[in-house]
Structure 1
Amino acid sequence: MGIRHAAWVPEDDALDWEEAAALAARWVRRRGKDEGATPVLVANTLDATSSVPALRGFEVTSPQSRSRPASGEPVLAYTPTLESLVYAEQLARGSSLVVVEGFSFSIRGWARERGASNLFTQQEEAASEDRRWLDVLERLTFHKNNGWGDTLGKRAAQRAVDDLRMAGLLDADELVSAMAARGASVRALKGLRRIVESR
């Protein structure tokens, strides 16, 4: 079961962190009301959001939390790392997910794969129509069961990365976040990033 509704607030100089958080908080609270569920906030650390007033009042969890909320609730992921994005995806299965993008990890690939609504522009993020990009995502998805760690999977991932590089389409964050939307594990995604960086 996938994410039913997705939205994001891209990192943008025209929008400060409080405004970005407020947009996301309004959206996830509305989704919670519509779904009859209590939204959850995913942060990189449990105290990472204490200085952001718009994020007060949420149950906060992080990938390091000992106890985890049940999945299937609306989730707001605030400036996630790769680990936090994958964790938020797991918690939001069957529900809704909004992500406030941070400056250290671009989630544009995730937003495109999810068709996420951009809460700043009110536009839906269009999926890439470039056949080369889509072909690479399909190949990577086909070979991801072992996290591209076995010989066949690693070779397929290396070829896919090389094809993107030759086409001028390679962006590590975009590729990694797109594959996060396609269900790859943190371990697999870190391996994919290492492959990108080694080519």
Structure 2
Amino acid sequence: MRDDVRAAYVPWVAELEGDPAPVRAAAAFLADAAPDLEPVLVAPSRFMASQDAVSEFASGARVVVTPKNLDSVRDSHGSPVLVYKPTLKELVIAMRHRGAQPIAVVEANDISWAAWAAEIAALNLLDNTVLTPPTRTAAQQGLFDAIDHVGNNGWADDPSRRDLRRMLKDLSDLGPINKDELVAYQLVHPKHRARSFDALVRLGVEIGRVSG
């Protein structure tokens, strides 16, 4: 494995549903990337963490982080993270929880995190290829960064939302907006502060309005 690869991704495939192999591959990646640190598990719920495919990893004294227990697991911040079948909420939690440590995502069948995996240059653990971010023109990249700049408060007030809508319109004039790509960029590369779940949902809604 390349020393600079700090993220891994297991895309969902029907043949591996319920199989512990994807979780074992993700755990092996984290053990190789951060051999001296104990990974935590981020999952949508304790029930999800008890499923057969992940129960082996979640057993014993493993810290399990869910949206409902964030206040009780603060001591594990800055740990490598294995994220099991996340929605956007769990992926946001995991990206904040990891600090600068490695992260590995095992995807569910109903939500693809391919755009996130590409943006963070993750290692695809099924075919052992390192993904690369999409190519953007200078104008597109400038708007991606400008959207980040006006979102330093999560696009939560009228002036920032007005600026966001104008920039999204400018971006749409350059070609169709890939919602997954823009949300992934804001999640992986925030220049000011880590993006909250609510902020990214807000961004997604505004993209939908512009894209029709």
Do they fold alike, i.e. is TM over 0.5?
Answer: yes
Residue 56 (structure 1) aligned with residue 56 (structure 2):
yes
The correspondence of residues 30-45 of structure 1 with structure 2, limited to 5 A, is: 30-33=32-35, 36-45=36-45
Which protein has the larger Cα radius of gyration, Structure 1 or Structure 2?
2
1:124 correspondence with 2:133: no
TM-score scaled by length of structure 2: 0.80
Report whether the alignment pairs 1:74 with 2:85: no
TM-score by length of 1: 0.85
Q: Where do 5+ consecutive residues of structure 1 fail to align?
A: none
Q: Secondary structure at the match of 2:90?
A: helix
Report the alpha carbon displacement of residue 123 of structure 1 after superposing the two structures with TM: 1.3
8 Å Cα contact 2:34-2:101 kept in structure 1: no
Partner of 2:24: 22
Give the one of 100, 113, 116 matched to 1:110. Answer: 116
Which residue of 190, 193, 202 corresponds with 1:191? 202
- Tell me if the contact between 1:77 and 1:100 (Cα under 8 Å) persists in the aligned partners: yes
Deviation at 1:172, TM superposition (A): 2.5
Contact kept, 8 Å, 1:21 with 1:55, in 2: the verdict is no
In the alignment, which residue of structure 1 is the partner of 2:164? 157
1:5-43 per-residue CA deviation (whole Å, 9 max, x = no partner) reads 11111234464452322321221233342xx11111100
CA deviation after TM superposition for structure 1 residue 44, in Å: 0.5
Whole-angstrom distance in 2 between the partners of 1:46 and 1:165:
40
Distance between the aligned counterparts of 1:172 and 1:114, measured in 2? 16
Contact 1:133–1:164 under 8 Å retained in 2:
yes
For the pair 1:140 / 2:140, whether they are aligned, the reply is no
What pairs up with 1:62-101 in 2 under 5 angstroms? 62-65=66-69, 66-68=71-73, 69-101=75-107
Where does structure 2 lack aligned partners over 5 or more consecutive residues?
Answer: none
Aligned-residue identity in percent = 28
Shift of 1:106: 2.6
Deviations 1:89-131 (A, max 9, x none): 1111121101112233332232222111111121111112221
Rounded to whole Å, the distance in 1 between the matches of 2:22 and 2:30 is 13
Change (3 A) 1:47 1:157: same
RMSD: 2.4
Residues 162, 77 of structure 1: CA spacing in aligned structure 2 closer, same or farther, 3 A cutoff? Answer: same
Post-superposition shift, 1:140?
1.6
SS in structure 2 of the partner of residue 48 of structure 1? helix
Distance across 2 between alignment mates of 1:15 and 1:165: 38
2:7 maps to what in 1?
A: 6
Task: Count how many residue pairs are aligned between Structure 1 and Structure 2.
Answer: 195
Determine the C-alpha separation between the residues in 2 that align with 1:181 and 1:153: 20
Work out the CA distance in 2 between the residues paired with 1:160 and 1:17: 43
Of 167, 171, 184 in structure 1, the residue corresponding to residue 178 of structure 2 is 171
Q: CA offsets, 1:36-56, max 9 Å, x none?
A: 111111001112032234442
